[in-house]
Amino acid sequence: MFRLITWVLGLGIACALFGYFVILPQLGREKSDIDVTALKGDPERGAYVLRMAGCVTCHSDGQGEATFLAGGPALKTPFGTFYGPNITPDPDHGIGRMTNQEFFDAVTAGLRPDGTHYFPAFPYASYVKMDGQDVVDLKAYLDTVPAVSKAARRHEIAWPFSDRSLVGGWKLLAIKARSIVPDAGQDNAWNRGMYLVEGAGHCGECHTDRNLLGLPRGPAHGGSPKGSFSSGAPSIAGAKSVIADWTHEDITFYLENGLKPDGDVSGGKMTQVIDFATSHLTGDDLDAIARYLLSLQTPATH
Amino acid sequence: MTTIRSKFLFTGLAAVLLSASLPVLANEAYVGYRQKIMAAVGGHAGAIGAIVKSKLPEQDAIAALAEAVAKTADTVPAAFSHALHEGATDAKPEIWDNMDDFLTLNDAMRKASLALADAARKGDPAVVKKAMRDFSKSCGACHRSYRKPKEESYKQRR
């Protein structure tokens, strides 16, 4: 009897070890098969992509050259506190040594140059849908910002969430679609809006609810309660949407200025999204986002 | 004699009681008062927004409305001079630890609204756009530190 228990236990441990060391490292390694090495980056477009994708919020702490993209403020999540690292071209503390392909895999697949995983606090689960040219342009721009020699702060996360190899399993469950499939039945503005909202703009990272494992739960952009990653973002789509009666101009004006139709102003993390990202967008892109968001206001017609 | 004395006593007591309770009542009322001031600021901002976003032919009104916000800012220091941060209010207690900063931010809103009024009079759309941005940013700058976020608001019944 005792021998049997030892055997079963031993087998269990062996399976767990095999799973952890052999199977787990293989999970979530999937990346786009786009070869970006042939693409040439345009830094001017890249400066705009930086705003579209809201990278500044998490990678800059304070204003001015000395802090621009040199590391972000504390990002508190239910899994611990993360710090967006230095992404200036500094070779030691920044991303100066990253090639275009490595950068592309980091942003769109959450893979580090050594093949291990980035934590999903870096919202690659949305950026997975970003266009290859956009990402290469972004890198070309990042190469031009002043390098800041400042070490990244260490994340404050507890085991097991601190284990990067577990992220592979998470990716497998969380990342369903790897690109945006344009809807031929909609016009260009709508499709552009979908790209900006679902991809680069990563609006769902806050506006979609998440379960205990950080996996999207409930309707897309259906709102998330206090205590979630976003510290609570209202529903902006479907049945419970708080913007159901907003006009097209109400949406564009809000994303540009932070003023709501009722005269109140945006609060919480949305203020940073507006300050660092959406207020820098062109009128056409704001129109595109409004077009797309408005189409999400009538449930069950889509 | 005794009746006079007890009358004195009574009025004295009443006066003491009144003077103790009156300021309390007045204080509480300051919460509603300052919220109405903010609602007024919001009302003017909303009207400006309505003109700008829908391109209403009311450009002259922008300056008047923005100046009204500047005037309203003058009432903020007194309205927030009572340290009331419990109950039906979204004012954070930090206001009364950092009153100088709070008042500086209020003054920044006042200046931003005057700049918007000025820009609107001159009529250069690019300048108006920028002034509009700075104006709405001045609200967020104060709210970020001194107003409870929506999910903690007393108005929230989620």
For residue A243, which of A292, A288, A300 has the smallest C-alpha distance? A292
CB contact under 8 A, B150 and A249: no
Residues in chain A: 302
Is the pLDDT confidence value at A227 over 90?
Answer: no
CB contact under 8 A, B140 and A275: yes
Shortest distance between the Cα of B100 and any Cα of chain A, in A, equals: 22
Per-residue pLDDT band for A23 (boundaries 50, 70, 90) equals confident
pLDDT at B5: 59
CB contact under 8 A, B137 and A262: no
Q: Tell me the pLDDT of chain A averaged across its residues.
A: 90
pLDDT at A277: 97
Domain boundary assignment for chain B: 2-157
CB contact under 8 A, A267 and B143: yes
User: In this complex, which of B45, B140, B151 lies closest to A263 when CB atoms are compared?
Assistant: B45
Residue B68's alpha-carbon distances to B108, B116, B121, in angstroms, are 15, 12, 15
pLDDT at B158: 41
For residue A192, which of A108, A128, A283, A284 has the smallest C-alpha distance? A284
C-alpha span between A1 and A261 (Å, rounded): 73
Shortest distance between the Cα of B96 and any Cα of chain A, in A, equals: 21
DSSP A157: E
A-B Cβ pairs (cutoff 8 Å, strict): 70
Q: Which residues of B touch A264 (CB under 8 A)?
A: 42
pLDDT at B21: 47
Per-residue model confidence as pLDDT tens digits over A141-180: 999 999 999 998 999 998 888 999 999 988 988 888 888 8
pLDDT at A198: 96
C-alpha span between A28 and A128 (Å, rounded): 12
> Please, is A138 exposed, middle or buried when counting C-beta atoms within 10 Å of its C-beta (0-12, 13-18, 19+)?
buried
CB contact under 8 A, A268 and B150: yes
Least confident of A36-45, A251-260, B18-27: B18-27
ipTM confidence score:
0.82
pLDDT at B127: 95
User: In this complex, which of A249, A257, A264 lies closest to B133 when CB atoms are compared?
Assistant: A257
Which helix (H) or strand (E) segment holds residue A224: the answer is: none
CB contact under 8 A, B53 and A265: no
Per-residue pLDDT band for A302 (boundaries 50, 70, 90) equals very low
For residue A295, which of A185, A215, A208, A216 has the smallest C-alpha distance? A185
CB contact under 8 A, B47 and A263: yes
For residue A273, which of A293, A254, A295, A297 has the smallest C-alpha distance? A254
Give the residue numbers in B contacting A (CB under 8 Å), as ranges. 39, 41-47, 49-50, 52-54, 132-133, 136-137, 139-140, 143-144, 147, 149-152, 158
Is the pLDDT confidence value at A131 over 50?
Answer: yes
Phi-psi region of B83 (alpha: psi -120 to 50; beta: other; left: phi over 0): beta
Q: Which residues of B touch A231 (CB under 8 A)?
A: 149, 151
Question: Best mutation site among A246, A248, A257 for testing chain B: the one with the most B CBs within 10 Å?
Answer: A257
CB contact under 8 A, A265 and B143: yes
C-alpha span between A173 and B98 (Å, rounded): 47
pLDDT at A4: 73
For residue A257, which of B148, B151, B73, B49 has the smallest C-alpha distance? B49
**Contact status, residue A106 vs residue A119, Cβ threshold 8 Å:** no
CB contact under 8 A, B46 and A250: no
> Please, is B3 exposed, middle or buried when counting C-beta atoms within 10 Å of its C-beta (0-12, 13-18, 19+)?
exposed
Q: Which residue has the tokens 């008062």?
A: B33
Per CATH, the number for B2-157 is 1.20.120.10
DSSP A75: E
Shortest distance between the Cα of B81 and any Cα of chain A, in A, equals: 23
Distance, CA of A104 to chain centre: 14
Summarize the confidence of residues A269-298 as an average pLDDT: 95
The CATH number, out of the four listed (3.30.70, 1.10.760, 1.20.140, 1.20.920), of the domain defined by the range A35-174: 1.10.760
Q: Which residues of B touch A269 (CB under 8 A)?
A: none
Count CA atoms within 13 Å of residue A137 on its CB side: 16
Q: Is the peptide bond before A120 cis (omega within 30 degrees of 0)?
A: no
Is the pLDDT confidence value at A10 over 80?
Answer: no
Domain boundary assignment for chain A: 35-174, 188-295
C-alpha span between A129 and A89 (Å, rounded): 24
Is the pLDDT confidence value at A33 over 80?
Answer: no
pLDDT at B11: 55
pLDDT at B150: 81
Whole-model pTM? 0.91
pLDDT at A232: 79
C-alpha span between A188 and A195 (Å, rounded): 11
pLDDT at B1: 46
Chain A residue at shortest CA distance from B143: A267
Chain B residue at shortest CA distance from A233: B151
pLDDT at A134: 97
pLDDT at A212: 83
Please measure the distance between the N-terminal and C-terminal CA atoms of chain B and give it in whole angstroms. Answer: 64
C-alpha span between A206 and A76 (Å, rounded): 13
User: In this complex, which of A231, A252, A259 lies closest to B45 when CB atoms are compared?
Assistant: A259
- Alpha helices per DSSP H over A157-216: 167-174, 188-194, 204-207
pLDDT at A164: 93
Q: How many CB atoms lie within 10 A of CB A272?
A: 17
CB contact under 8 A, A275 and B143: no
Q: Please, what is the Cα angle at A249 between B35 and B34, to 5 degrees?
A: 5
**Contact status, residue A30 vs residue A126, Cβ threshold 8 Å:** no
CB contact under 8 A, B46 and A258: no
Per-residue model confidence as pLDDT tens digits over A77-125: 888 999 999 999 999 999 999 999 999 999 999 999 999 999 999 999 9
Secondary structure of chain B in the HEC alphabet? Answer: CHHHHHHHHHHHHHHHHHHHHHHHHHHHHHHHHHHHHHHHHHHHHHHHHHHHHCCCCCHHHHHHHHHHHHHHHCCHHHHCCCCCCCCCCCECHHHHCCHHHHHHHHHHHHHHHHHHHHHHHHCCHHHHHHHHHHHHHHHHHHHHHHECCHHHCCCCCC
C-alpha span between A230 and B110 (Å, rounded): 31
pLDDT at A144: 97
Chain B residue at shortest CA distance from A227: B151
**Contact status, residue B144 vs residue A266, Cβ threshold 8 Å:** no
Which helix (H) or strand (E) segment holds residue A77: the answer is: strand A74-77
A114 CB near a chain B CB, below 8 Å? no
Is the pLDDT confidence value at A50 over 60?
Answer: yes
**Contact status, residue A247 vs residue A297, Cβ threshold 8 Å:** no
What is the architecture of the domain spanning A188-295?
Orthogonal Bundle (1.10)
Chain B residue at shortest CA distance from A272: B140
Shortest distance between the Cα of B64 and any Cα of chain A, in A, equals: 16
pLDDT along chain B (158 residues), means of 10: 54 50 65 96 97 93 98 97 92 97 98 98 93 96 93 73
For residue A197, which of A299, A292, A275, A132 has the smallest C-alpha distance? A292
A57 CB near a chain B CB, below 8 Å? no
C-alpha span between A87 and A146 (Å, rounded): 10
